[in-house]
C-alpha cells in the first residue's frame, strides 16, 4: 500500500509541476535516501529503494505525458 502511495504521490507532484525536470525529483530523493542508508551502515540489499526509485520516475514521466495530452497549449 505504501508503494502505491509513493508512486501516486510522485505522479501527482509531476503532474502539478508539469515540467520535464520533475522526473529528476524521485531520482534525487532515491540518491539521498540511498546515501543515508549507506552512511548509517545499512545495505541497499535490505531495501526496495532502487525499485521504488525507478517506479516513481516512470510514474512521474507518465504523469507529465498525461498532462501534456490533457491540457491544451
Per-residue pLDDT of the chain (73 residues; tens, 9 = 90+): 788 898 899 999 999 998 989 999 999 999 999 999 999 988 888 788 889 999 999 999 999 999 988 877 6
Q: How far apart are CA 49 and CA 56, in angstroms?
A: 10
Evaluate if pTM is beyond 0.75.
yes
Sign of dihedral through CA atoms 66, 12, 59, 32? positive
Amino acid at each position: 500500500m505504501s508503494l502505491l502511495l509513493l508512486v501516486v504521490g510522485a505522479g501527482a507532484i509531476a503532474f502539478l509541476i508539469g515540467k520535464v525536470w520533475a522526473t529528476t525529483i524521485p531520482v534525487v530523493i532515491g540518491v539521498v535516501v540511498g546515501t543515508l542508508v549507506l552512511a548509517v551502515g545499512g545495505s541497499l540489499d535490505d531495501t526496495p529503494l532502487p525499485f521504488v526509485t525507478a517506479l516513481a520516475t516512470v510514474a512521474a514521466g507518465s504523469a507529465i505525458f498525461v498532462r501534456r495530452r490533457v491540457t491544451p497549449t
